[in-house]
Structure 1
Amino acid sequence: MASEKHKPVSENEKDSLKGTLYSVFGLGIFIIATWIMVFSIFIDRF
């Protein structure tokens, strides 16, 4: 079997992953907030 050498993660890649993490959290918070607003509008109808 071929062995792959794992190179250490560079600082640039860490920053990129951190930015991706923040983007995913931001998108998730936006989706949850939107869902809560739409759900509250739906509940107010009754």
Structure 2
Amino acid sequence: MSLKESQEKETNLKGTLISVSILGFVLIASWVGVFILFLSR
């Protein structure tokens, strides 16, 4: 395995981690929003 390949894998992993954390944040944010709406009724 060359150095370039491992670097590409690392950046790909980082991108996946970022997209997953963004997705999780959006999910949690929408959940909290619905919960606040539910409480304020």
Please give the range of the TM-score, normalised by the shorter of the 2 chains: 0.7 to 0.9
Structure 2: 5+ residue stretches without partners? none
Q: Kindly state the Cα deviation for residue 29 of structure 1 after the two structures are TM-superposed.
A: 0.5
Structure with greater helix share of residues: 2
Structure whose CA Rg is larger: 1
Identity between Structure 1 and Structure 2 (%): 44
Q: Under a length normalisation based on structure 1, what TM-score does the superposition of the two structures give?
A: 0.76
Q: Secondary structure at the match of 1:10?
A: helix
The answer to whether the aligner puts 1:31 opposite 2:31 as a matched pair is no
Alignment correspondent of 1:12: 8
AA at the equivalent of 1:28 = G
Q: Under a length normalisation based on structure 2, what TM-score does the superposition of the two structures give?
A: 0.84
